Chain A
Amino acid sequence: MAAISREEVAHLARLSRLAVTEEELDRFAGQLDVILQSVARIGDVAADDIPPTSHSVPLTNVYRDDVPVPSLTQEEALSGAPDAYEGRFRVPQILAEED
């Protein structure tokens, strides 16, 4: 059984705001399925005594003090932006559903 369906890939593409063609859906669903199946094999070897790992280093409580450091200038901040206007990032129309 496939680890990810064509419908799920379409759903994820929509959430990610990616325009994916029908042909691409077929292709990506197949590719993602191979990747997920491979990763799923880890679950076969992990026994109950191995907890899920979210961090590769055994550290906790790494903090910094609440002391300001210099930020980027507005010019620097906007230098990589495709478009800007009056000191702000300019982005295309936002989908109405996200109101």
Chain B
Amino acid sequence: MTTTALPSYEDAVSRYEPVIGLETHVELGTATKMFCGCRTDFGAEPNTQVCPVCLGLPGALPVANRAGIEATIRIGLALNCDIAEWCRMARKNYFYPDMPKNFQTSQYDEPLCVDGYVDVEVGGKSYRIGIERVHLEEDTGKTLHVGGATGRIHGATESLVDYNRAGIPLVEIVTKPVPGLGALAPEVAKAYVAELRDIIRSLGVSDVRMEQGSLRCDVNTSLNKPGEEWGTRTETKNVNSLRSVERAVRSEIIRQSGLLDQGTRIFQETRHFQETTGDTRSGRSKETATDYRYFPEPDLVPIAPDPAWVAELKAALPEKPSSKRARLREEWGISETDMESVANAGAVELIEETIAAGSSPAGARKWWMGELARRANETGVELSAVGATPAQVAALQKLVDEGKLNDKLARQVLEGVVAGEGDPAAVMTARGLEVVSDTGALTKAVDDAIAANPDIAAKIRDGKVAAAGALVGAVMKTTRGQADAKTVRDLILERLGAS
């Protein structure tokens, strides 16, 4: 702990130049694991999706999942990488119970994809982030530390291990070091991870959810004085949201500049991001941990993707998310900020499909970004899994456009749709939510409201039409909100001779 006050961020970046690098792990959404046919369902009972291969039992032999290879190549292509003509898997040896085999099947000096780039935009300016490599490996099991006070390793007396996750295909994407960003380094880091997430989501190979761990990020940061060599980097792990990516880089810049100001050396080490405070804390020293004694995996034959197949995969890549966003923003006539919120909510495709199903852009955006986004947020599910389909949202908006539902009723119908009660029209009928358009019934409700509120009625007759609001409220109450407010208002004014 240092007693010297840390420099401000502005001060730090005015005197030091940051260099950042990012390592991102993406869990693929294959139906089975990378080297065996065990399922990959999230949330299954512990150790029910395991077999001799992923438990590392003697004599078990792995066979690579074609879908995992294909997804990795597609990610590489989408990141403008060259695809290796021939490469091998490797064993990364370490003794830790999260891998029952005592090694992780990974790639070492022969990654499947190399030398690509991603362009990201920050503040209207484009930055090219170089991609060093994209390689394929397998995820580890989940350990639960017990006996300690906090569930962390320190103080734990034993660990409980579930190997359901062990062997799920994991793609690691490593950037080249990115210098020259100055004060924008944290923002560019965040924009890169967001762009990467969007690209991978557009490929449909992973659900890329940071909060669930299917997209995980490690951030490397170093500082140097202008004109000097790059400094020693630290690696920050446990960065689990886009906002945390930005905060982690920022806090490392401040922390390291404080040390450098005092003439203290930066140690190459792993640090852990602290979600609550936004700073990083020292983890293990890397000295022995890097001694993984990699060697080619003898049980898996080399991967030699047919160039014709690679060309086919490349030709079939979807439109780049950034160009798609620009195109749709134009079509929908919304601001860049609004488009960013839509993208961040994972609503681009949903709104696009809703419009294709007949809704207006404004209507589609309203439901997905309003009621449904709120609900997804509350229940902690992806917007796409909230329980309503684009076709249903389009049908709902159509009922509103036709005057059969007002806004309030439409919300109730949507609630029914999300609850699985059927399509909007069916929910509307079943719940009796249609707007009251029967003029007879409405006129009676209006007359009742006038009779019950003679004072207000008198005011309206005297020309104080603003007072009509109270009567509209009364009518809406007796019709349980199922009348169109404007129609009711017109009717009140007409009955009182004030229109």
Contact = CB atoms under 8 A, between A and B. Distances in A.
Interface of A: 11, 14-17, 54-55, 57, 59-69, 71-74, 77-78, 80, 85-94, 96-99
A15 B31 contact: no
B292 to A, nearest CB: 9
Given A74-B46, A88-B144, A99 B158 contact: no
Nearest to B50: A77
A62 B67 CA distance: 12
A63 B48 contact: no
B498 to A, nearest CB: 70
A93 B159 CA distance: 6
Contacts of A59: 301
A85 B296 CA distance: 35
Interface string B80-98: 0000001010000111110
A88 B158 CA distance: 12
Contacts of B122: none
B429 interface: no
B50 A94 contact: no
Contact of B47 (A16, A62, A63, A87): A87
Interface residues on B, range: 35 or more
A68 B31 contact: yes
Contacts of A17: 95
B47 A74 contact: yes
Contacts of B30: 66
B160 A68 contact: no
Given A54-B296, A64-B63, A94-B145, A87 B86 contact: no
B37 interface: yes
B96 A94 contact: yes
A98 B134 CA distance: 26
B37 A68 contact: yes
Residue from A16, A65, A66 with most neighbouring chain B CB atoms (10 Å): A66
Contact of B95 (A15, A85, A93): A15
Interface centre among B32, B147, B163 (most CB of A within 10 A): B32
A69 B37 contact: yes
Contacts of A74: 45-48
Nearest to B162: A88
Contacts of B154: 96, 99
B66 interface: yes
Given A54-B88, A60-B86, A66-B30, A87 B46 contact: yes
15 contacts: A15-B95, A16-B95, A60-B302, A68-B31, A71-B38, A71-B48, A72-B55, A74-B47, A77-B163, A88-B47, A91-B159, A94-B143, A94-B153, A99-B152, A99-B154
B158 A68 contact: no
B160 A86 contact: yes
Given A60-B86, A64-B65, A77-B163, 19 more contacts: A15-B93, A55-B298, A55-B301, A60-B304, A61-B303, A62-B301, A63-B65, A64-B63, A66-B66, A67-B37, A88-B144, A88-B160, A89-B100, A91-B160, A93-B156, A93-B157, A94-B145, A98-B289, A99-B153
